[in-house]
Amino acid sequence: MKKIVVITGASSGIGKALAIEYAKNGYHLSLCARNLTALQEVKKLCSNFGIQCEIFKADVSCKEECKNFIQFTIQKFQRMDILINNAGISMRALFNECDLEDFEKVMNVNFWGTVYCTKFSLPYIQESKGSIIGISSIAGYRGLPARSGYSASKFAMNGFLESLRTELLYSGVHVMTVAPGFTASNIRNTALDGKGKAQKESPLDENQIMSSEECAKRIYRAFQKKKRTLILTRQGKLTVFFNKLLPSWMDKKVYQHFENEPNSPLKNSKKSTN
């Protein structure tokens, strides 16, 4: 029997690549995002692999929409095996300069979206003894300057998933936290600039970093091995390791790294302290 994987934020980037990866491996899909046109494209691609793909328009920051998405999935498939909490947005602004509404928005999508979808899915995942996967970030292990809301949301996700894994230790449910490093996607274009607007540019050369497809392949392999956590990219692994070992040295290193980005908001932070 084909298993059912539910993916939030599947219209772009890592979520879209995950949908294709699971379709290739014979899983049926239930996908959500806000952009239905983009989801229809993903459905077309995935359906080429001979699986059933259902799509649903939902904003994961809305509790009711998450509930409706999971109910829709159960109506279509009568079960679910894997939930991948992937939908996410980022930000790039100094805490001092960003609107609190943007901070809340990032928290609502990344953290609350994960909590809502997990809450409504849990009875079905317990029944199937399936998996709950959270796409967190290296920013959930190491606070990043000018991304305080993003880091806070990912630390919160990690804590939530770790608690849940422990609660479910003897239930047969697998819970995995994934921390991608820099991965080519749309996330930096849609990152909020602190004034409620998408920054519409990436400070990185997206061709020089891990592709979403590679990231999805590694997530799939880790899922098959029922890993507890997956930390991706060499830079990501080094960041997590050195942050445990030498946290104050890492403050300086991380500052330096983000100060050197094009149009870094940290340049303003130095100006305001001079």
Binding map of ligand NAP across residues 12-41, x = CB under 6 A, - = no contact: xxxx-----------------xxx--x---
If the CB atoms of residues 197 and 270 are measured against ligand NAP, the closer one turns out to be 197
Torsion over CA of 24, 207, 44 and 137, rounded to 10 degrees?
A: 70
How far apart (Å, rounded) are the C-alpha atoms in residues 169 and 192?
A: 37
User: How far apart, in whole angstroms, are the C-alpha atoms of residue 1 and residue 107?
Assistant: 37
Asked whether position 130 contacts ligand NAP by CB under 6 A, the answer is no
Question: What CA–CA distance (Å, rounded) separates 113 from 94?
Answer: 24
What does 60-124 look like in DSSP terms, one character per residue?
A: TTSHHHHHHHHHHHHHHHS---EEEE-----B-S-TTTS-HHHHHHHHIIIIIHHHHHHHHHHHH
Please indicate whether residue 150 is annotated as part of the active site. yes
Measure the CA angle with vertex 87, ends 153 and 19; round to 5°: 145
Rule CB under 6 A: is residue 219 a binding residue for ligand NAP?
no
| Catalytic residue (one of 22, 116, 141, 150) | 150
Among 145, 180, 194, 265, interactor with ligand NAP by CB under 6 A: 180
User: To the nearest whole angstrom, how small is the minimum distance from the Cβ of residue 8 to ligand NAP?
Assistant: 6
**Nearer CB in complex with ligand NAP: 66/250:** 66
End-to-end CA distance of the chain: 65
Instruction: Examine residue 240 and tell whether it contacts ligand NAP (CB under 6 A).
Output: no
Q: Is residue 149 a contact residue for ligand NAP (CB under 6 A)?
A: no
Q: Which residues bind ligand NAP (CB under 6 A)?
A: 8-15, 33-35, 38, 58-61, 86-89, 109-110, 135, 137, 180, 182-183, 185-187, 190, 212
> Active-site positions?
150
